[in-house]
Structure 1
Amino acid sequence: MKPLRWPRVVLHVFLTVMAVGWLVPLLWGLFNSLRDYDYTGTHGYFSFGGFTFHNYVDAWQRAEFGEKFLNSVYITVPAVILTLFLASCAAFVLARFSFRLNLTLLGVFVAANLLPPQALLIPVYRAFRAVQVPTWINDNGTLLDSYLGLVLINTAFQLGFCTLVLSNYMKTIPHELYESAEVDGAGVSRQFFTLTLPLVRPALAALTTLQVTWIYNEFFWATVLLSDGDKFPITSSLNNLRGEFFTDYNLLSAGSIIVALPTLLVFFVLQRQFVSGLTLGSTKG
């Protein structure tokens, strides 16, 4: 038998404790979302009983999740697609070609992530109010109160991180593949679409999972750039479940579970690519 290694035992114990610490609040919220408020009000939250699915039906109706979910789709899907496409283009240039400002350009992309959104609140608001767009995009003729404005601002803030991960991943592709493609007559665009993109699918899948989660849950820019409540994303719906004088936390837990389901679905669908792609993209370079 192999000798017992105490550092490994301590590591496993620590990881187990941390995992339980993360899971207990989530499982507790799920448990209380299936319980009646009157029952918990009488017997306490540490009791067992009063189970019902009415909280989910009531939360869906009161929070208007159907309409708000479509708003989140209109914002999240275009923003994720645009971010990954632009990041792939920039990362391909940084990884494929060597030029004097290569590292500087990558630093510019990464530096954008160091700026807190609050520091850019007023400049972004004024810029979006000054930009003129066709009325078929937005009735008021500006980027304020429009889905396009939220798509652009989310793309801008997520572009740097995606470019960093994809460029590091693309650097792991053997240079001999590009030389063989050039011998066969493949141009730069063909090398990008037919050679590079298929090889970086694990990284794209990992970034898709992260970007869907971050953009879907983002609410700061929605409160700044939107004044029309009909266009608010689904994260705003949870406020509709808070009462003026008291809050039914069982109902709020049910609403939180509903809001989290789409991101969990995306993670489980792309789980295998997420682990492999994120690991390779963050350790190579």
Structure 2
Amino acid sequence: MYPLPIDKWRPVSRRFYKFSLPVALGIWLLPMIAVLVTSIRSTEELTEGNYWGWPKHFALLANYREALTASPMLHYFWNSVLITVPSVIGAIALAAMAGFALATYKFRGNALLFGIFVAGNFVPVQVLMIPVRQLTLGLGLYNTVEALILFHIAFQTGFCTLFLRNFIKQLPFELVEAARIEGAGEWTVFFRIVLPLVRPALAALGILVFTFVWNDYFWALCLTQGDDAAPITVGVAALRGQWTTAWNLVSAGSLLAALPSVAMFFAMQKHFIAGLTFGATKG
């Protein structure tokens, strides 16, 4: 049974829906608005206790400039780029190949291997904290960008494989069979047939994995020490002082740290509406 379209609702229900939607949106955006307003407050206002009132003096440029210069924020930002980009590419590349194999090949242990990928998504990350840290220490990778890259690739590949395997499983298998009959190799089938068809899934995964890795704080705190390999999430936490905290600078740094994820979403959102069989009927 499908939901009833909104235009067929009763008038009272439609009015209530139209009224509640902006209210719910305002409540959802309230924390972000509070952070945004705090980021443009002056330090004097925060000292006086003006946390929720409208700012009397706007310190937009001063706060954001100090947030960038009070700590090595640009260094943290570059570390996040070095960690996130290889992690996204590596996790999606491995998951695409694994998902293709699990979806198209019939071999002994296929279901068991897929079950392992599924089960791995239910392991709490906190359980892995000590063994992963000891592993990086044993391999000499502790406090390095490479350690975070390898961990994020390993941890995100399971979820991406689960997602892509189910997505590829829904593709018309006749396309793969037709390509094989025409003499196409497996790599040709993978790159020329499957990948164009799963473009919407790749775009969605790209945004999700980018957001997960970029916003990671737990593993950045566990596997790094100091400023050498710390990403921007740790850099924002470094804006907190030992005795007092300039919340306007923390808010400004938090918004600067969130900008790449927002930009990534708007850059990739057009792929969400791409047709599933876009490449199958072209020409």
TM-score class normalised by the smaller sequence:
0.7 to 0.9
The 10-residue stretch of structure 1 (238-247 or 41-50) with the greater mean CA deviation from structure 2? 41-50
Aligned to 1:49: 56
Deviation track 1:104-159 (CA, whole Å, cap 9, x = no partner) reads 2221111111111221222222222333xxxxxxxxxx222222111111111111
The 10-residue stretch of structure 1 (158-167 or 219-228) with the greater mean CA deviation from structure 2? 219-228
User: What is the DSSP-based 3-state SS (H/G/I as helix, E as strand, rest coil) of the residue aligned with 2:121?
Assistant: helix
Structure 1: unaligned runs, 5 residues or longer: 132-141, 279-285
Aligned to 2:30: 24
User: What is the DSSP-based 3-state SS (H/G/I as helix, E as strand, rest coil) of the residue aligned with 1:231?
Assistant: coil
Q: Which amino acid aligns with 1:26?
A: M
CA contact (8 A) 2:80 2:232 kept: yes
Q: Which amino acid aligns with 2:142?
A: L
Q: State, as a whole percentage, how many aligned pairs show the same letter.
A: 41
Between the aligned partners of 2:55 and 2:275, the Cα distance in structure 1 is 42
Q: CA RMSD in A?
A: 2.3
How many Å apart are 1:16 and its aligned residue? Answer: 3.9
How many Å apart are 1:17 and its aligned residue? Answer: 3.7
Deviation track 1:218-256 (CA, whole Å, cap 9, x = no partner) reads 122222222342211111111222122221211211111
Structure 2: unaligned runs, 5 residues or longer: 1-6, 277-283
- The change in CA–CA distance for 1:169 and 1:10 in structure 2 (over 3 A counts) is farther
How many Å apart are 1:41 and its aligned residue? Answer: 3.6
Between the aligned partners of 2:214 and 2:31, the Cα distance in structure 1 is 21
Aligned to 2:3: none
Aligned to 2:4: none
Between the aligned partners of 2:115 and 2:21, the Cα distance in structure 1 is 34
Aligned to 1:266: 264
- The change in CA–CA distance for 1:146 and 1:47 in structure 2 (over 3 A counts) is closer
CA contact (8 A) 1:40 1:47 kept: no
Runs of 4+ in 1 over 6 A off after TM superposition: 275-278
The 10-residue stretch of structure 1 (76-85 or 62-71) with the greater mean CA deviation from structure 2? 62-71
1:184 lines up with 2:182 in the alignment: yes
1:143 lines up with 2:141 in the alignment: yes
1:197 lines up with 2:192 in the alignment: no
Q: TM-score, normalised by structure 2?
A: 0.87
Aligned to 2:116: 108
Between the aligned partners of 1:68 and 1:50, the Cα distance in structure 2 is 29
- The change in CA–CA distance for 1:9 and 1:183 in structure 2 (over 3 A counts) is farther
- The change in CA–CA distance for 1:119 and 1:3 in structure 2 (over 3 A counts) is closer
User: What is the DSSP-based 3-state SS (H/G/I as helix, E as strand, rest coil) of the residue aligned with 2:228?
Assistant: helix
CA contact (8 A) 2:91 2:157 kept: yes
Would you say how many aligned residue pairs link Structure 1 and Structure 2? Answer: 268
Aligned to 1:219: 217
CA contact (8 A) 2:143 2:228 kept: no
Task: Find 2:39's aligned residue among 33, 36, 44.
Answer: 33
How many Å apart are 1:13 and its aligned residue? Answer: 5.2
How many Å apart are 1:18 and its aligned residue? Answer: 3.3
Q: Which amino acid aligns with 1:268?
A: F
Between the aligned partners of 1:36 and 1:16, the Cα distance in structure 2 is 30
Between the aligned partners of 2:84 and 2:69, the Cα distance in structure 1 is 23
